[in-house]
Amino acid sequence: MQIAPQPTSEAVKALLDRAGEAKMLIGGEWTGAEGGRTIDSIDPATGNVISTVPDASAADVDAAVAAAAKAQPLWAETTPAARAAILWKIADLIESNIDELSELESLDQGKPLYVARWAEIPGAISQFRFFAGQAMAIEGKTITPSITYQPEGKEVQAWTYREAVGVVAAIVPWNSPIVLTAMKLAPAFAAGCAVVLKPAEDTSLSALRLAEIIEEAGLPAGVLNVVTGRGAECGSALAAHPGVDKVAFTGSTQTGRAILDASKGNLKRVSLELGGKSPVIVMGDADLDLAIPGAANAIFFNAGQVCVAGSRAYVHSSVYDRVVEGLAQYAGGMSMGHGLDPATQMGPLVSAKQAERVGGFIEGASKQGASIVAGGQRTGPAGTFISPTVVADVAADMDIVREEVFGPVLALQKFDEVEEVVAAANDSIYGLAAGIWTESLSNAHRLSRRIKAGTVWINSHSMYDPSLPIGGMKQSGYGRDSGIEALNNYLETKTVCAVL
The region of 54-62, 142-150, 188-196, 235-243 touching ligand NAD under the rule CB under 6 A is 235-243
Could you tell me how many residues of this chain bind ligand NAD (CB under 6 A)?
Answer: 30
Nearest C-alpha neighbor of 110 from the set 291, 451, 351: 351
Pairing of strands 269-273, 278-282: unpaired
The region of 2-10, 24-32, 85-93, 171-179 touching ligand NAD under the rule CB under 6 A is 171-179
The region of 115-123, 157-165, 228-236, 318-326 touching ligand NAD under the rule CB under 6 A is 228-236
Q: Which of 102, 273, 331, 361 binds ligand NAD (CB under 6 A)?
A: 273
Is residue 392 close enough to count as binding ligand NAD by CB under 6 A? no
Name the active-site residue from 120, 201, 215, 273: 273
Is residue 433 close enough to count as binding ligand NAD by CB under 6 A? no
Is residue 180 close enough to count as binding ligand NAD by CB under 6 A? yes
Binding mask 303-332 for ligand NAD (x = CB under 6 A): ----x-------------------------
Of 42 and 259, the one with the shorter C-beta distance to ligand NAD is: 259
- d(C-alpha 56, C-alpha 24), whole Å: 9
Is residue 478 close enough to count as binding ligand NAD by CB under 6 A? no
Is residue 246 close enough to count as binding ligand NAD by CB under 6 A? no
Is residue 200 close enough to count as binding ligand NAD by CB under 6 A? yes
Nearest C-alpha neighbor of 300 from the set 392, 385, 193: 385
- d(C-alpha 293, C-alpha 24), whole Å: 41
Of 239 and 324, the one with the shorter C-beta distance to ligand NAD is: 239
Residue 253 CB, nearest distance to ligand NAD (Å)? 6
Q: Which of 171, 207, 328, 421 binds ligand NAD (CB under 6 A)?
A: 171
* SS3 (DSSP) at 52: strand
Q: Examine the residue annotation and report whether 215 is marked as an active-site residue of this protein.
A: no
**Intra-chain end-to-end CA distance of the chain, in Å:** 76
Residue 289 CB, nearest distance to ligand NAD (Å)? 30
Q: Which of 75, 320, 385, 406 binds ligand NAD (CB under 6 A)?
A: 406
Cα separations in angstroms, 40 against 37, 202, 298, 495: 10, 8, 31, 49
Cα separations in angstroms, 325 against 278, 335, 439, 474: 21, 18, 21, 33
Residue 15 CB, nearest distance to ligand NAD (Å)? 20
Is residue 174 close enough to count as binding ligand NAD by CB under 6 A? yes
Residue 152 CB, nearest distance to ligand NAD (Å)? 56
Q: Which of 5, 44, 54, 173 binds ligand NAD (CB under 6 A)?
A: 173
Q: Which of 44, 110, 123, 231 binds ligand NAD (CB under 6 A)?
A: 231
Is residue 252 close enough to count as binding ligand NAD by CB under 6 A? yes
- Residue 184 burial by Cβ neighbours in a 10 Å radius (0-12, 13-18, 19+): buried
Phi and psi (nearest 5°) for 282?
A: -110, 110
Binding mask 275-294 for ligand NAD (x = CB under 6 A): xx------------------
The region, left, alpha or beta by phi > 0 then psi within -120 to 50, assigned to residue 68 is alpha
Q: Which of 86, 104, 121, 274 binds ligand NAD (CB under 6 A)?
A: 274
- d(C-alpha 251, C-alpha 489), whole Å: 17
The region of 102-110, 149-157, 234-242, 328-336 touching ligand NAD under the rule CB under 6 A is 234-242
Name the active-site residue from 21, 307, 404, 497: 307
How many CB atoms within 10 Å of residue 93?
21
- d(C-alpha 46, C-alpha 460), whole Å: 33
Query: According to DSSP H, which parts of 30-154 are helical?
Result: 58-77, 80-96, 98-109, 113-114, 121-135
Q: Which of 126, 250, 263, 311 binds ligand NAD (CB under 6 A)?
A: 250
The H-or-E segment that residue 161 falls in is: strand 156-164
Is residue 251 close enough to count as binding ligand NAD by CB under 6 A? yes
How many Cα atoms sit within 13 Å of 274 on the Cβ side? 26
- d(C-alpha 407, C-alpha 350), whole Å: 10
Residue 353 CB, nearest distance to ligand NAD (Å)? 10
What sign does the dihedral 25-91-121-468 (CA atoms) show? positive
- d(C-alpha 259, C-alpha 252), whole Å: 11
The region of 20-28, 168-176, 316-324, 375-383 touching ligand NAD under the rule CB under 6 A is 168-176
Q: Which of 55, 60, 105, 201 binds ligand NAD (CB under 6 A)?
A: 201
Single-letter amino acid, residue 398: M
- d(C-alpha 280, C-alpha 27), whole Å: 45
What sign does the dihedral 324-326-329-333 (CA atoms) show? negative
Q: Which of 138, 327, 432, 451 binds ligand NAD (CB under 6 A)?
A: 432
Q: Are 437 and 282 in contact (CB under 8 A)?
A: yes
Phi and psi (nearest 5°) for 364?
A: -60, -45
Q: Examine the residue annotation and report whether 100 is marked as an active-site residue of this protein.
A: no
Residues making contact with ligand NAD (CB under 6 A): 171-175, 180, 198, 200-201, 231-232, 235-236, 239, 250-252, 255, 258-259, 273-276, 307, 404, 406, 432, 472, 477
Residue positions annotated with a catalytic role? 273, 307
